[in-house]
Amino acid sequence: MSQIFSSIKEREEKLLLRSYSRYPLAIVQGKMSRLWDADGKEYVDLLAGIAVTALGHCHEEIAATLEQQAHKLWHVSNLFYQEEQLELAEVLLSTTHHDKVFFCNSGAEANEAAIKLARRYYKKVKQRDAYEIITLEGCFHGRTLGTLAATGRQTLSDGFEPLPEGFRQVPINDIKAMEAAITDKTCAVLLEVVQGEGGVIPLPGDYLKALEALCRKKDILLICDEVQAGFCRTGCFWAFQNYGLQPDIISTAKALANGLPMGAMMATSEVAKGFEAGSHATTFGGGALTSAVATQVVRIMLRDRLAERAAKLGQALIAKLRDLQQRLPGKIKDIRGLGLMLGIEIGENCPQVWQELIHRGFICSLSHNVTLRLLPALTIDEADLTNFVQTLADILASD
């Protein structure tokens, strides 16, 4: 551990409320898929701020938009009409079948908005006392009290009880369990098409289609949490589009403003009737500065066809990893994912492999201590991915 790093770590321990367990790195600078630490060491970033900086760090065009808007208007509150919000809404809605959007500031908030809209739609529009939301084991929907209840993971909610009522959880890939859990109190199913924090678990298309049909049959809503898997990462603009689903509501955030905090919840015009003026609000939601940046982000994603790029790079990467899996029997337990959202399950020595990757200049995340999770920028050079596979091969072969 270098002196510079130790002193940063020491300062933080004095100053910040303890809530994160950090990686042993202090990052001071970034450029596209490169990061530099406090000692000047260079890294290939395969994590992109947990699927946030999908266009890369300090992208020139985004930086230019940010600067331009910084001299025009930052924030006036949602008491006023702002065209920046409308520009963003137009380009966002062009990517999906949804009709209306609500802007907020994070993934958890987008899910809160989705939960509130689903409940209020049933209470006020359908006039039915249905409020319960069913989620899937292994999911992650955020850290507010409501989204913790939706996430239903004891380790995350320990000490924070009581959580809001009205959530129920079933195992994944079990349509019978889902059917049994739906009652006349159920208003929606909330799911991630590819579970992210759960360890990169793509749900099978057949299951998703059966689940959507079940939602239609029971007259309940389907909500897709696209916070991590959205924005071109899985090979389509939205992950649900890989399977031709038509969710009533989607929640988004992470990559939306390439690192500025922003979230959005989108709904069909029918379900959007659940909100009226005063139903829901947030001070910062859809601020002019973040909206202008996000508009540019989405335009670039569409212009540069980053969904197709993610599909292509993801397929090539998976093929290389499968080849490696065959060459080194027993070293890689599983390879999962869609597009550039990939999990490489290594098993119990995964923490050492992950640490060694950092040592050799590759940053990815360590998921549940057994899986390497890759969420690189969609603009990453293919050579960086090839070098990563080669480095992983060297590490696995020598341990």
Report the nearest approach of ligand PLP to the CB of residue 22 (Å): 16
* Chain residues 120-179 in contact with ligand PLP, contact rule CB under 6 A: 140-142
x-or-dash pattern for ligand PLP, window 248-287, by CB under 6 A? -----xx---------------------------------
Report the nearest approach of ligand PLP to the CB of residue 150 (Å): 9
CA R_g for the chain: 21
- Kindly state the tokens that stand for 74: 């930052």
Using CB atoms, what's the residue nearest to ligand PLP?
107
Closest CA to 201 of 153, 136, 110: 136
* Chain residues 182-211 in contact with ligand PLP, contact rule CB under 6 A: 192, 196-197
- Kindly state the tokens that stand for 12: 């933080």
x-or-dash pattern for ligand PLP, window 82-121, by CB under 6 A? ------------------------xxx--x----------
What is the chain's length? 399
Closest CA to 167 of 132, 136, 219: 132
Report the nearest approach of ligand PLP to the CB of residue 372 (Å): 17
| Torsional class of 142: left (φ above 0), alpha (ψ -120 to 50), beta (otherwise) | left
Report the nearest approach of ligand PLP to the CB of residue 54 (Å): 13
Cβ nearer to ligand PLP, comparing 114 with 396? 114
Cβ nearer to ligand PLP, comparing 85 with 106? 106
User: How far is Cα 349 from Cα 116, in angstroms, rounded to an integer?
Assistant: 42
User: How far is Cα 193 from Cα 315, in angstroms, rounded to an integer?
Assistant: 18
3-state secondary structure of 30: strand
Considering the rule CB under 6 A, would residue 384 count as an interface residue with ligand PLP? no
- Kindly state the tokens that stand for 95: 């990517």
In the complex, which residues of this chain contact ligand PLP (CB under 6 A)? 106-108, 111, 140-142, 192, 196-197, 225, 227-228, 253-254
